[in-house]
Structure 1
Amino acid sequence: MNKNLQEILNYYGSLKEPFLFIISYDLTEFYVKPLKELPEDIKYEIKEKVSSKIDKKEELTKYPISFKEYKKAFDSLQKHIKSGNSYILNLTFKTQVETKYNLNEIYEKANAKYKLKFFEEFVCFSPEKFIEIKKNKISTYPMKGTIDSKIENASAKILGNTKEMAEHTMVVDLLRNDLGIMANKITVEKFRYLDKINAGDKKLLQVSSKISGHLEKNWNEKIGDILISLLPAGSITGTPKKKTVEILKENETYDRGYYTGVFGVFDGSSLNSAVMIRFLEKQKDGKLFYKSGGGITCDSNLEEEYKELLDKVYLPF
């Protein structure tokens, strides 16, 4: 399946044909379509700047995984960390939710840098850029670390937190190595800068970094090679990546599907893409599930991580 996806992406890239691509977390599912052939049931929007203004609190009824179930997975991950099998793992779960809005209304109202509605299957409103390629420069923007902006001295607390610093540094190192597979002259242009994002009834500060490298001039002919070499994204897996993915599969009680995969657009000369976090999925029986998670390290606090899982379940209106 991977090879087929790789060939399709390389093919459209070599033609300089503008296209949309949507790739699942484990690369087993994908959708690639020239923009001129895109069905009406698929909508996307990419904006570099969005407002963090909140008009009003939108109610979202949550039926999350129990604290006991979460603790079981958390404790298992801590054992793996203590055994040296992984240093950081992005643990995620799905939360059943109820809302008065349908997927299309959520897509239209959502305030986010990257928005995607995929038929009647899911809607994503992600704040996290994956990779961007302009000319022959590739950049990635790992996002790791979150705090409620209303907390006193929130900026200083998140940037001065040793657990958050270690977590973010490990992801930056992982992404530097990932970029080095296909690019050279890798540099960390910005390290741990803050973005303010709308999180429903609150505003969150999220910590990101910018890492860049240089590609060959014919990079458009190798879009498939580039994406496959970088997936799954380091910020939503952990390090070392291969072993961490195995551990997460053992401990997460569901299949991520397209959640934490990537979507993006090649416009014929440049590429922009996002990690599919902030993700609401509609099952065939009509039930809605919101998927969310956070990074676990040896310094993680069980109660705080469980709270973060639930805090990330929101509608960004």
Structure 2
Amino acid sequence: MFRVFPGKKRKYSRVPMVREVFADLDTPLSAYMKLAEGDYTYLFESVQGGEKWGRYSIIGLSASEVYKFYDKTLQVWREGVMQSEEEVDDPLQWISERQAAFTVPSIKGLPRFTGGLVGYFGYETVGYIEPRLKLDDLDDEIHAPDILLMLSEEVVVFDNLSGKLYLVVYVDPQKANAEARGEARLNELVERLKQGLPEQILSLTDENDICISETDFKSGMSQQEFERAVERAKQYIVDGDIMQVVLSQRLSIPFNESPLNLYRVLRSLNPSPYMYYLNLGDMQIVGASPEILVRLEDQKVTVRPIAGTRRRGRDEEEDRAMERELMSDPKERAEHIMLIDLGRNDVGRVARTGTVEVNEQMVVERYSHVMHIVSNVTAELKEGMDAMDVLRATFPAGTVSGAPKIRAMEIIHELEPVKRGVYSGAVGYLGWDGAMDTAIAIRTAVIKDGQLYIQAGAGIVADSIPEMEWKETMNKGRAIFRAVALMKQQCDE
């Protein structure tokens, strides 16, 4: 056990109290289920390169405050009750100031993130960045906030290497009895960890008895409508408006099962660099994203474009053949190179002169159902800029919008029938120290009002074949299709 309660308390707005527990019989999931009571909680996990579990998993207990932005209206919530509502001229500036308002000492020996702001930036956040984009006139069947961030002041860090668990509780040192209250809260969490869980065996449908398929998901566009949209996008390319655009389709299905159990299945079927479960009250987000949007750590900016996809082979030989086909496909290579250039340009807007570097170029990464071409772009952050400046420069990713980005988004708005919402936005955190780590919200399910929604896109270029692009969207949704199918215990008569 150790505590952090600095002598010079007045220089900090929050100070952490930390308890170390040996928890080798628990897992991140069991710890989440024991500790994360109520709404506005989360679980973040990672599998590096699709194969190796990341060292740390992060569990967020119920948020002390929640910030929801609908257009430019900010709602502040506490304990499930809206406390205030106001108009905000620049939501991202408000978030920047909120992040900077907290002065917190660092905790040595733990991962960079142990508290801060956690949640998502929906695709329509781009309307705050580029006001000329008018994105609010499309149908919005989900009615989720454009941005939702939780103030995360109670965090559990699970060290998958050592089997240790660190309980982190932040207290306000200016309040009376802060240390005693923090100590009592840590004691309460330790006692809850000692308690067992009810039977949690999750029975999955036998492979031979699966009773739903991709065709059971209702799409906002028929295959024919999607292919017509691809043809229209290709005409814009021929006309010189754009070089590439990413068109997506949304699919939905009734869903009354446990969202957390869906996460359990998805993390097994599709281990990914960014795996997340967010319980946001009347909505849950379950995702296994392969792609970083942007990371800011120690003043270093990183983007990692993914473009170029093939399904996994049925055996090792076919898998290698699929890789060779992918890497020799001129359309896939051209699209990827275009997105490397876009990533370099985005990062260059906030980079110190001469520091932009492509330090990994066109490598293949494998995941459970697909393989992708991946590159890595880094730079040093320009002095005087912060996480929200970086987000403005890079949001949304070129891999989910197109190039040139602004015109591509105008065409997306014309050709897609509904607001994207969470899809193709960002899920992640803003740390107390100014750091940021966000994943692109792809391979992600949104569950709300008894419906499960997923969305997937395909990059359209001049020589795209409409039917193949439709198939690509279905391939990208396959991991979630399969997770939902395995959870369905009964077929409708």
Task: State if a TM-score over 0.5 links the two structures.
Answer: yes
Counterpart for residue 281 of structure 1? 446
Q: Which residue of 2 aligns with 1:113?
A: 273
Residue of 415, 428, 443 corresponding to 1:251? 415
Correspondence for 1:229: 393
Q: Which residue of 1 aligns with 2:466?
A: 302
SS in 2 for 1:26: helix
Change (3 A) 1:13 1:108: farther
CA deviations on 1:16-67 (whole Å, 9 max, x unpaired) are: 56221411102161122322169xxxx999x9xxxxxxx9867554334322
Report the CA distance between 1:84 and its aligned residue. Answer: 0.6
How far, CA to CA, are the matches of 1:300 and 1:44 in structure 2? 45
Q: Distance in 1 between matches of 2:445 and 2:343?
A: 26
1:137 to 289, 297, 300: 300
Give, in angstroms, the shift of residue 281 of structure 1.
Answer: 2.4
SS in 1 for 2:396: coil
Contact 2:387 2:436 in 1 (8 A): no
Q: Deviations over 1:121-157 (max 9, x none)?
A: 2322211111122212111011111101214511111
2:429 equivalent among 243, 247, 265: 265
Number of the residue aligned with 1:186: 356
Within a 5 Å distance, the mapping from 1:1-317 to structure 2 comes to 1=72, 3-13=90-100, 15=102, 18-27=116-125, 29-36=146-153, 60=213, 61-64=216-219, 65-97=221-253, 101-111=257-267, 112-114=272-274, 115-119=276-280, 120-121=282-283, 122-150=285-313, 151=318, 153-184=321-352, 185-198=355-368, 203-216=369-382, 219=385, 222-269=386-433, 270-284=435-449, 286-315=450-479
Q: TM-score, normalised by structure 2?
A: 0.56
The 3 A distance-change label for structure 1 pair 280 and 302 is same
The CA deviation string for residues 194-224 of structure 1, in whole angstroms up to 9 with x for no partner, is: 11112xxxx21111110000014665xx212
Given that 1:140 and 1:212 are in contact with CA atoms closer than 8 Å, whether structure 2 keeps it comes out as: yes
Q: Residues 16 and 154 from structure 1, CA distance in 2 versus in 1: closer, same or farther, beyond 3 angstroms?
A: farther
Partner deviation per Cα, 1:234-266 (whole Å, 9 max, x = no partner): 110000011110001000011101111002123
Question: Is residue 360–residue 376 contact of structure 2 (8 Å, CA) maintained in 1?
Answer: yes
What letter matches 2:436 in structure 1?
A: L
Letter in 2 for 1:149: R
Cα RMSD between the aligned structures? 2.7
Q: Which residue of 2 aligns with 1:50?
A: none
Q: Is the 8 A contact 1:135 1:217 kept in 2?
A: no
1:158–1:133 Cα change, 3 Å: same
Q: What's 1:52 paired with?
A: none
Between 1 and 2, higher relative CO (CA 8 Å, sep ≥ 6) is seen in: 1
Flag the structure with larger Rg. Answer: 2
Query: Is the 1:5–1:30 Cα contact (8 Å) retained in structure 2?
Result: no
SS at match of 1:245: helix
Q: Number of matched residues?
A: 298
Could you tell me how far apart the structure 1 residues matched to 2:338 and 2:100 are? 32
Cα distance per residue 1:156-197 (max 9 Å; x no partner)? 111111000111111111111110111131111111111111
Residue by residue, what CA displacement relative to the aligned partner does 1:264-286 show, whole Å, maximum 9, x if unpaired? 123334432100001222343x2
- Verify the 8 A CA contact 2:99 2:432 in the aligned structure 1: no
The one-letter code matched in structure 2 to 1:175 is: G
TM-score, scaled relative to structure 1: 0.85
Q: Secondary structure at the match of 1:110?
A: helix
- Gaps (5+ residues) in structure 1? 48-54
- In structure 2, runs of 5+ residues without a counterpart are 1-71, 73-88, 105-115, 128-145, 161-204, 484-493
The superposition leaves residues 91-137 of structure 1 with CA deviations (integer Å, 9 ceiling, x where unpaired) of 00111235674322112332232213242423222111111222121
Q: Distance in 1 between matches of 2:157 and 2:392?
A: 22
Distance (whole Å) between structure 2 residues aligned to residue 146 and residue 44 of structure 1: 34
Identity across matched positions, percent: 23
